[in-house]
Structure 1
């Protein structure tokens, strides 16, 4: 099961857990309600059955695989810096972890960083317009599938970009969720 928690303000090694003291954990329900993040646990042994259903329901028509490690990713250090810059996308970001582990950090409705640990079998869906970032943990390796609706678009828009339509739509949808 995925773990998520509010991060401390330590600017040290981004690959560490960065728990507050005392730790403040965030439930999947709260993560969904306050940030719009969706989570599925996928059995990697029966990947085709479960995943095909999710892909069909959500309209994912394209997929590829990313291997983030010093040995497999060209410009490794530079790419890690780019992934860890706070940004948003105009489309959902969908990742299924196949091997390894890492952290997705997302902003909640109060602008706190919520750190989400992802490990094999975790399928994480970040909504379009959410500010987020990614980093490896101290294992320095993750292999994941990326899914897209239509042709892949992976253009990060670094903060600030609050005037983008996807950001406005995201904030409006979160406001409605909070009122429910």
Structure 2
């Protein structure tokens, strides 16, 4: 078996997009910063999102059965930190401009792209839950630079204007 620390160190070499994943329901708005988001298939268009079961908003995602994956642009490093912080859900959404598409889950107005999804399947694996999420609406903003996470720090990728 591979040791968890060795695995985490190795995974730090896997460059990933930075996303703020949001949901809405009776308990209000909730969101968290995630890099474990990936395309499953284009027929039907589906994403998977992995979430730590110990996250305090985990139960809200399970109950609400909807989420939006907001892919962050280079200008959103602060927002990524906000949604990874100890701040309350209410406090987090005071940062950024939010709207909604089909599900009502918060959509970041200036995200690179937002995937508005239903949560169709929930699979538990170890410490995490995998949500299988058919996409029901997409909003895209033409931008040419992205925020990525590599080697435990943020990097900006793409053509940056000065």
Larger RCO (CA within 8 A; separation ≥ 6): 1
- TM interval, short-chain normalised: under 0.3
Higher-helix-fraction structure: 1
Which TM-score applies when normalising by structure 2?
0.24
Greater share of residues in strand: 2
